[in-house]
Amino acid sequence: MSEVVLSAEKRIETGKGVAGRLRRAGRIPGVMYGAKIEPDAISLDKIELGRLLRKDHSIINVKVGSDDQKAVIKEIQNHPVSGEVTHVDFMRVVAGQEITVSVPFQFVGVAEGTKHGGVLTTLLNEIQISVMPRFMPENIEIDISKLDIGDSIRIDDLGLENMTALSEGNELIVQVVQQRKEEVEETDELLEDTESVEPEVITAREDEKESE
């Protein structure tokens, strides 16, 4: 588990107008809640937050003035067109109390079945877990290299330690399936069409040479 530091400022005013002014000033509005404490409206430097989001992290030490609060990111809101971050929700972390978070999967290797015409299908990219803060992982690594056609990995296959999955154990995460006959035929036809195209540009150049 890694811990990073993020500076924040308390917000007194709230609302869409205030949030818009903050964003134009290069700051992102957010809120800190949890641990049976009243929520705090905060703002964060856009550049500093962007650097943090590009890295793997688990626990964030949010510094609000002289007050340090350990937290995790619970939700990130993005602009529907630009994709830029518009708001961040933080949940406070209390030592000795389990937290509920979503952790991404990191798939490692190349599935054996894809070398034999199979198609790798990913059905889940993250999992929601209940875990003590000190055991919270940055991601859950899944080795897919041994998956052949017809093989799959379910939540029960992960063998999670020090955490509890909050999804059904038989839920599929990833599988390798046989490529459908129609898809194979379409691919073959596309290759045949590509091979049958004559290099017209080259031929035209040859004709020009003959006419000279």
pLDDT at 212: 46
Domain of 160 in residue numbering reads as 102-180
**CATH label of the domain that carries residue 20:** 2.40.240.10
The reply to whether 15 and 46 lie within a common domain is yes
pLDDT at 17: 83
Q: First vs last Cα of the chain: how many Å apart?
A: 74
The reply to whether 173 and 116 lie within a common domain is yes
The reply to whether 20 and 80 lie within a common domain is yes
Average pLDDT, the chain: 85
The candidate with the shortest Cα–Cα distance to 126, out of 108, 141, 109, is: 141
The reply to whether 9 and 85 lie within a common domain is yes
In a domain, 202, yes or no: no
The reply to whether 123 and 68 lie within a common domain is no
CA distance 46 to 25: 9
pLDDT at 195: 56
In a domain, 50, yes or no: yes
In a domain, 159, yes or no: yes
Local confidence pLDDT in tens for the 212 residues of the chain: 556 889 999 988 777 888 889 999 999 999 999 888 889 999 999 999 999 888 766 789 999 888 888 999 989 999 999 999 999 999 999 888 899 888 999 999 999 999 999 999 999 999 999 999 889 888 999 999 999 999 999 999 999 999 999 999 999 999 999 987 655 555 555 555 555 555 555 454 444 444 44
- Point out the domain boundary residue: 29, 63, 94: 94
pLDDT at 4: 85
pLDDT at 106: 95
The count of structural domains within the chain is: 2
pLDDT at 147: 97
The reply to whether 18 and 77 lie within a common domain is yes
CA distance 56 to 38: 28
Instruction: Give pLDDT tens digits for 108-125.
Output: 999 999 999 999 999 999
Question: For residue 93, what are the CA distances in angstroms to 29, 70, 80, 134, 148?
Answer: 20, 5, 30, 10, 41
The reply to whether 115 and 77 lie within a common domain is no
- Point out the domain boundary residue: 94, 111, 129: 94
